[in-house]
Amino acid sequence: MITTDLLSDIVKQAIKRGATDAEAVGVESTEFHVEVRLGEVEKLQEAASRGVGLRVLYQGRQASISTSDTSPQAIDELISSAVEMAKLTSVDEAAALPARDELARETADLGLYDPDVGELTTDRKIEMARSAEEAARGADPRIANSEGSACSTAVRNAILVTSAGFTGEYQSTTCALTVAPIAKEGAQMQVAAWGDRQCALASLDPPETLGREAARRALRKLNARKVTTREAPVVFESSAAEELLDDFFVAVDGYSIFRRASFLLGRLGETIAAPGLTVIDDGRMRCRLGSRPFDGEGLATRRTVVVENGVLKNYLLNTYTARKLGLRSTANATRALTGAPAVGFGNFFIAPGVYQADEIIASVKNGFYVTEMIGFGFNAVTGDFSRGASGWWIEDGKLAFPVEEVTIAGNFRDILRGIEMIGDDLRFRGRSAAPTIKIDRMMVSGE
Amino acid sequence: MIEPIKFFTGKFNISISDIESLLGVALSRGGDYADLYFEYAALNSLILEEQIIKSANRAARLGVGVRVISGEKTGYAYCDEIDVAAIRKAALTAAHIAQSGSGDGPINVSLVSPAHDLYPVAQLIDDEPLPRKIELLERIDRTSRAFDRRICEAQVSLADEFKVVLIATSEGKLIGDAQPLARMRVMCIADDDGNLQSGVSGGGGRVGMDFFSDEMLDYYANEAARQAIVQLEAQDAPAGSMEVVLGPGWPGVLLHEAVGHGLEADFNRKGMSAFSGLIGQKVASELCTVVDDGVMPNRRGSLNIDDEGNPTSQTVLIENGVLRGYLQDKLSSRLTGASLTGNGRRESYRHMPMPRMTNTYLLNGASDRDEIIRSVKRGLYAVQFGGGQVDITNGKFVFNATEAYLIEDGKVTAPVKGATLIGNGPDALTKVTAVANDLSLDEGVGTCGKDGQSVPVGVGLPTIKISEMTVGGTK
């Protein structure tokens, strides 16, 4: 068992052996994963896992170490090596634990633990996966094969203890259901994966709904073709818009800023996007996957407006990046078992607009409705963006024919300024979410 | 060198007879096959940034994964410790996948040695004192900055690991391996009066400390700096379909995405790949012979045994344009009767094995690089790439050029900004119209992701010409 007592002892021992400051994290989780394909269980995985990590500071020098071995001897070695390693790194003025008065004073109950998730029986989980796949396969005779359907659950307990006087512990749950049917017509095949991921079982879309939607998404990809290369307005379906937002995060991550590796360097307080765009990071939404009572350094999480009506208001920071930039942490420290804290988002989203997705499509005379993207073509240093895309071509406000094997490209400065319409269809299926958005023009490259 | 069996029985309270009885527990409810995967890994990382060593990190990862196969079903469980009681519990959990009856008690195993010894290492990086490792990073930092006064920052990291594995199977095999792995990475940022650009380089493999010679470190440093400086002058990349020439080495990521993943046996067994059912058919121009080679000495993607304990090998995937075979793991080979190829790999004991690539490359052709470039009227010459991705089912794949130039009237001219290239796996290689004789492998930095599991891989390519490919620029 990893307890607050064990971690407190580790912190005390580290200080005793010479560390100036120490921070211990512990995670224990029970994970379950089942995959069903063509109605039969194909894989079933179950395990309890755990790990302990220790970060120490020695007169401004930093090192970290982690292990899954919690035997007294392994823990003892862990502490000594961490202190010894720290002595050999360089003095880094910005490396420090947060000040005492910044620490969370209580562990807020954000409804992150749903007992129903832990109590779900194996049979029920298999049944959920099976139902999702059945719904997909039953949706249309052209759904001729399946990559399968998966149901996963995790129950997790996380503890953080620091020598600055912080002790915190919270439990959380995750449940996820995904399904990936394959549509076939002639020699061509198209797959679409669709699913949902939530803290609470009751929030999860029903298996049948997910299955039908996955089938719809696979079927609509059939008979896709390339288009000729041209500039055109581009509408991003909400799931594709969410990927744009994930790229945008890299440009407001405090590490990118102090490293001068972001095109948004030095733009705080300036207009960077169309006036309709508001981007928020909120680590305190009830019963959401991106929520937690305290961040990876023990600060109370909060709601941070990153972009408000087109104006860049805040970067997302942890203690280190805040000190580098002369700002205050936004409580976005994330902590893996090993390594110094990083910056991560909580629940990160584009505030919904007023338009229905259909209205947005109807506003386009000739343009591209992007439903999926592929690849990693975003350069945060320059803002240059170029990715593979598929979806539908829009003619006279209507979806005319499916498109694949093309790329879309532009610079994020122009993409942000070119946001013309924002949908009202915001729904969280993970930690980030975006509604449908329309960009005035991007380069679509095909034939 | 470490003997895996002695390592595990010496360091932990476990014996060969314990292993035999645990295999029996795994098959206690029936089941066709079971294996135990013991792993102990030490993973180190060291980070230099802003000219100082910012962090030194070390992780110990140890545990055992238990797998039980029953027909097409797989049960899997693991424990985060090497302890008989904990493994027994995992074995009982995994055993539940089978419901056909009862087992026969302990299963005898006999120790065998791997057929290969591909990465004997005189001096493990894991054993190296920290100050010596720090010197390597500092040298790269100095060299990068000296390359050009506009290089304003270098971030350098060294990640090294040493992994000892022991695999016991219900077929009676007990086999182990000790696997070193190291990767140096450097990213430079160039600043020319507010125009900021980056360049990335690095390398490694299953190597010891001697691999990172001064010459090698200077090469990484200069290469990252050079790329960042080149990008300062980059124009907008072109958009549309055009001739594309790929340089040697890392651009081999094309093969990895366009054909490699599509040839993994699991996708094909299930009829989910754009390459399903195409064995014996023409899927590339006759200039193309593609192999997956797990037995190259010291390469990042190489292994003496795969993660199911089977010997790795060189597998011909495409021969003179004709599809010859798939990459197999134990499960696919059992179900389809195909021979094992030694491609069953996993990220760690927490993961089930599946068919994965090792080092994938295209064999040399007869053309000359300069000749190929001279033959292009208007096109793109791409020499460095970031990552790629593929949709196995419809075959569409992308890969991102990070250093590329225009070719105009047979000459390499202006550098262009990064752009995504997109193509269709089953026909991309049919458009290969020239293959040069300058095959090289990447520097040893590749990591491949599939189903949430990352494994180290290599790619390689001689210079090739593709008659038509869509380039995702803006102009």
- The whole-number pLDDT of residue B123 equals 87
Of the three residues B178, B204, B232, the one that is the final residue of a domain is: B232
B401, B438: one domain: yes
- The whole-number pLDDT of residue A4 equals 97
For chain B, positions 41-80, list CB contacts with chain A under 8 A: 43, 45, 49, 52-63, 72-80
Do residue A381 and residue B56 have CB atoms under 8 angstroms apart? no
A24, A44: one domain: yes
| ipTM reported for the complex, 2 dp | 0.94
Contacts of B62 in chain A (CB under 8 A): 67-69
pLDDT tens across B411-462, in order? 999 999 989 999 999 889 999 999 999 999 999 999 999 999 999 999 999 9
A109, A43: one domain: yes
A21, A97: one domain: yes
Residue A390 lies in a domain: yes
Do residue A68 and residue B62 have CB atoms under 8 angstroms apart? yes
CATH number for the domain that contains residue A91: 3.30.2290.10
Range of the domain at A268: 264-347
B290, B315: one domain: yes
CATH number for the domain that contains residue B17: 3.30.2290.10
Do residue B198 and residue A387 have CB atoms under 8 angstroms apart? no
Contacts of B389 in chain A (CB under 8 A): 374-376, 388
- The whole-number pLDDT of residue A69 equals 87
Range of the domain at B362: 239-472
For chain A, positions 202-231, list CB contacts with chain B under 8 A: 221, 226, 229
B164, B271: one domain: no
Res. A243: pLDDT tops 80: yes
A74, A204: one domain: yes
Q: Which residues of chain B have pLDDT under 70?
A: none
A340, A373: one domain: no
Q: Which of A23, A29, A43 is the mutation pick for testing B, counting most B CBs within 10 A?
A: A43
A69, A214: one domain: yes
B195, B251: one domain: no
Q: Quick check: A69 contacting B, CB < 8 Å?
A: yes
CB atoms within 10 A of CB A67: 24
A196, A67: one domain: yes
Domain count, chain A: 3
pLDDT tens across A275-285, in order? 999 999 999 99
B306, B385: one domain: yes
B102, B177: one domain: yes
Q: Quick check: B86 contacting A, CB < 8 Å?
A: no
Contacts of A51 in chain B (CB under 8 A): 80
Residues β-bridged to residue B185: B157, B202
**Residue B433 contacts residue B467 (beta carbons within 8 Å):** yes
- The whole-number pLDDT of residue B357 equals 98
- The whole-number pLDDT of residue B2 equals 85
User: SS3 for A351-372, per residue?
Assistant: CCCCECHHHHHHCCCEEEEEEE
What distance in Å separates the CA atoms of residue A42 and residue A38, rounded to the nearest whole number? 9
Contacts of B196 in chain A (CB under 8 A): 260-261, 265, 381-382
Q: Supply B73's token pair.
A: 């079903």
A414, A323: one domain: no
pLDDT tens across A149-184, in order? 999 999 999 999 999 999 999 999 999 999 999 999
A315, A365: one domain: no
Residue A166 lies in a domain: yes
Of the three residues A280, A315, A347, the one that is the final residue of a domain is: A347
Residue A437 lies in a domain: yes
A82, A200: one domain: yes
Do residue A338 and residue B57 have CB atoms under 8 angstroms apart? yes
For chain B, positions 186-205, list CB contacts with chain A under 8 A: 189, 191, 196-198
Q: Chain-wide mean pLDDT for chain A?
A: 97
Q: Quick check: A51 contacting B, CB < 8 Å?
A: yes
Contacts of B244 in chain A (CB under 8 A): none
B220, B286: one domain: no
Of the three residues B232, B255, B289, the one that is the final residue of a domain is: B232
Do residue B393 and residue A81 have CB atoms under 8 angstroms apart? no
- The whole-number pLDDT of residue A172 equals 98
R_g of chain B, CA atoms, integer Å: 24
Do residue A68 and residue B54 have CB atoms under 8 angstroms apart? no
Q: What is the mean pLDDT of residues A410-418?
A: 98
R_g of chain A, CA atoms, integer Å: 24
Q: Is A422 helix (H, G, I), strand (E, B) or coil?
A: strand
User: SS3 for A12-57, per residue?
Assistant: HHHHHCCCCEEEEEEEEEEEEEEEEECCEEEEEEEEEEEEEEEEEE
Of the three residues A314, A347, A380, the one that is the final residue of a domain is: A347
A328, A422: one domain: no
Distance from CA of B417 to the nearest CA of A (A): 8
A155, A8: one domain: yes
B106, B244: one domain: no
What distance in Å separates the CA atoms of residue B405 and residue B58, rounded to the nearest whole number? 41
Domain count, chain B: 2
- The whole-number pLDDT of residue B387 equals 86
B300, B221: one domain: no
Of the three residues B232, B247, B282, the one that is the final residue of a domain is: B232
Q: Quick check: A383 contacting B, CB < 8 Å?
A: no
Q: What is the mean pLDDT of residues A190-194?
A: 97
Q: Quick check: A60 contacting B, CB < 8 Å?
A: no
Residue A254 lies in a domain: no
Distance from CA of B81 to the nearest CA of A (A): 6
B375, B429: one domain: yes
**Residue B140 contacts residue B221 (beta carbons within 8 Å):** yes
Give the global pTM: 0.95
B255, B207: one domain: no
Q: Is A424 helix (H, G, I), strand (E, B) or coil?
A: coil
Q: Which of A23, A69, A79, A91 is the mutation pick for testing B, counting most B CBs within 10 A?
A: A69
Contacts of A88 in chain B (CB under 8 A): 53, 56, 130-131, 134
Residue A94 lies in a domain: yes
B252, B152: one domain: no
The alpha carbon dihedral of A17, A23, A28, A29 has a sign of: negative
What distance in Å separates the CA atoms of residue B281 and residue A25, rounded to the nearest whole number? 55
- The whole-number pLDDT of residue B334 equals 94
- The whole-number pLDDT of residue A315 equals 98
